A and B are shown apart, each in its own frame.
Chain A
Amino acid sequence: MNRMYRLFQGRYAGLGSIVLLAIVLMVVMPLAFDIYRLNLAGRYLTYAFVALGLVLCWGYGGILSLGQGIFFGIGGYAMAMFLKIESSDPESTSIQTTPGIPDFMDWNRITELPWFWVPFNSLTFTIIAVLVLPAAFAFLIGFAMFKRRVSGVYFAIITQALAVVLTILIIGQQGYTGGINGITDLRTLLGWDIRDDSSRYLLYYLNAILLIGCLLIGRWVLNCKYGRILTALRDKEERVRFSGYDVANFKVFIFCLAAFISGIGGAMFTLQVGFMSPSFIGIVPSIEFVIFAAVGGRLSLVGGVYGALIVSFAKTMFAEAYPQLWQFLIGAVFILVVLVLPYGLASIYGRFGQRLRTPLARWFGDRKTHSSTSDDGLQEKRS
Chain B
Amino acid sequence: MSGFSSQELLAIFAMQGFAGVSFFSVLLLMALGLAIIYGQMRVINMAHGEFMVIGAYATYLCSITLGALPGMTDYYLFFAIPIAFGSAFLVGYIVELTLIRHLYHRPLDTLLATWGLALIMQQGFRSAFGAREVSVLVPDWLRGSYRPTMMIDIPLNGIAILVLTLLVTLGVWWFLYRSRWGLRVRCTTANRDMSGAVGINTKRVDRVTFALGCGIAGIAGAAFTTISSTGPTSGSLYIVDTFLVVVFGGAGSLVGTIASAFSIAQAQSLMEFFLGSSMAKVLTLLTVIGILLLRPEGLIASKVRR
Contacts and interface: CB of A to CB of B under 8 A. Distances in A.
B108 A64 contact: yes
Interface residues of B, number: 42
Given A148-B293, A154-B296, A160-B240, A328 B120 contact: yes
A153 B251 CA distance: 12
A331 B293 contact: no
Contacts of A287: 112, 115
B296 A171 contact: no
B112 A334 contact: yes
B207 interface: no
B246 to A, nearest CB: 9
A210 interface: no
B293 A290 contact: no
A164 B285 contact: yes
A339 B102 contact: yes
Contact of A333 (B106, B116, B289): B116
Contacts of A156: 44, 108, 111
Interface string A58-89: 10000010100000000000000000000000
Interface string B111-128: 111011111101100110
Interface string A130-160: 0000000000000011001110111011101
B243 interface: yes
Contacts of B117: 331, 334-335
B276 interface: yes
B113 A172 contact: no
Given A168-B282, A172-B279, A324-B123, A145 B116 contact: no
Interface string B174-194: 000000000000000000000
B282 A172 contact: yes
Contacts of A332: 116, 120
Q: Is the interface of A mostly helix, strand, loop or mixed?
A: helix
B99 interface: yes
A41 interface: no
Contacts of B109: 338, 342
Contacts of A328: 119-120, 123
A158 B292 contact: yes
A327 B122 contact: yes
Interface string B235-255: 010001001100100000000
A110 interface: no
A162 interface: yes
A283 interface: yes
A93 B209 CA distance: 61
20 contacts: A58-B108, A150-B293, A154-B247, A156-B44, A157-B243, A165-B289, A172-B278, A294-B112, A327-B120, A327-B122, A331-B117, A331-B119, A332-B120, A334-B117, A335-B99, A338-B103, A338-B106, A338-B110, A339-B99, A382-B106
Q: Nearest 5 pairs between A and B by C-beta?
A: A334-B116, A172-B278, A331-B119, A331-B120, A327-B123
Given A58-B108, A153-B38, A333-B116, 5 more contacts: A144-B293, A145-B293, A157-B244, A158-B289, A172-B279
